[in-house]
Amino acid sequence: MSGQASHRTTVPDIKARKSVGKIVMLTACDAPTARMADDAGADIILVGDSLAMVCLGHETTLSVTMDEMIHHAKAVKRARPRALVIGDMPYLSYHLSVEEAVRNAGRFVAQAGCGGVKIEGGRKRLRTIEAILGAEIPVMGHLGLTPQSYHVMGGFRVQARTAEAAEALVREAQLLAACGVFSIVLEGVPAEVAQIVTAEVPVPTIGIGAGPHCDGQVLVTHDVLGLSGSEPPRFVRRYADLASAATLALGSFAEDVRGGRFPSEAESYHLPQGAAEELRMRIRAVLGEVPEAPGNRWRS
């Protein structure tokens, strides 16, 4: 629980953490994962659209809908975390019009209780981000490997690998910061590039696959816990293999059921003394009217 504020973490708290310690962000998609991330001391819980892959079984993040994101964000907020909860704007929730983007961002705040939203992209999202900020909704930016650009990037590929592309990324980050985002996720970029961006923008950067120099780090909780069901990317550090532990536990349950060892006496409810016999007598009296009733479960 180290480093955790005793009050709910706010956007100004996060902005004040620029170059002060390291910000910890984890994803959550339901109340249990939110509780675990919060108890572990996360500063920010992101209801990331990666839940499309780690919870819903999709191949990319592109298939998750706004309604599904709200459903998961509400579950996360029901855990009443102290961490700042940010809703991730899914694919097509902010691409069609500025008005629709503001409405969808507003749903994360008004319906789910999030403290802000995250949007992928730089320069081409500025008008949208300005409008969302105009609706008093804090915005977290997201640059570099933006998973919603999967098809344009030709897969999940490290970005900004040339001097030209790196310079463009620095400019995009500066534009986002000038526009008013309160932090920027840098995903899948060389550590040197993330270091320069971090030095050049006045808001905290939060890295994922972006080296150690960012103001904070984020990982997908299911990857950290070994629950994502596939080999994680190389930037993930897996701290547990809960999928194996869970499969073993569930296997033991299955064996106990099949072997008649579950449930035990202690795991069963019983009628009070005498009541069982009385019940049998009553049932017999009733069933006496239909002596050969098939499937009579009450005969002793």
Active site residues: 187
> Which residue has its beta carbon closest to ligand KIV?
48
Closer to ligand KIV at the Cβ: 189 or 220? 220
Q: Which amino acid is at 278?
A: E
Closer to ligand KIV at the Cβ: 129 or 218? 218
Point out which residues bind ligand KIV (CB under 6 A): 27, 46, 48-50, 88, 185, 187, 208, 218, 220
* Structure tokens belonging to residue 133: 């900020």
Whole-number minimum distance, CB 218 to ligand KIV, in Å? Answer: 5
Q: Which helix or strand (DSSP H or E) is residue 88 part of?
A: strand 84-88
CA-based Rg of the chain, rounded to a whole angstrom?
26
Residue with tokens 């550090």: 237
- Answer whether 114's CB lies under 8 Å from 87's CB: yes
Closer to ligand KIV at the Cβ: 26 or 133? 26
Whole-number minimum distance, CB 146 to ligand KIV, in Å? Answer: 8
Alpha-helical segments (H) within 47-139: 51-54, 66-78, 98-110, 126-134
Half-sphere exposure of 118 (CA within 13 A, CB side): 29
Whole-number minimum distance, CB 256 to ligand KIV, in Å? Answer: 37
Closer to ligand KIV at the Cβ: 57 or 272? 57
Whole-number minimum distance, CB 31 to ligand KIV, in Å? Answer: 18
The residues that bridge with 117 in the sheet, in sequence order, are: 87, 139
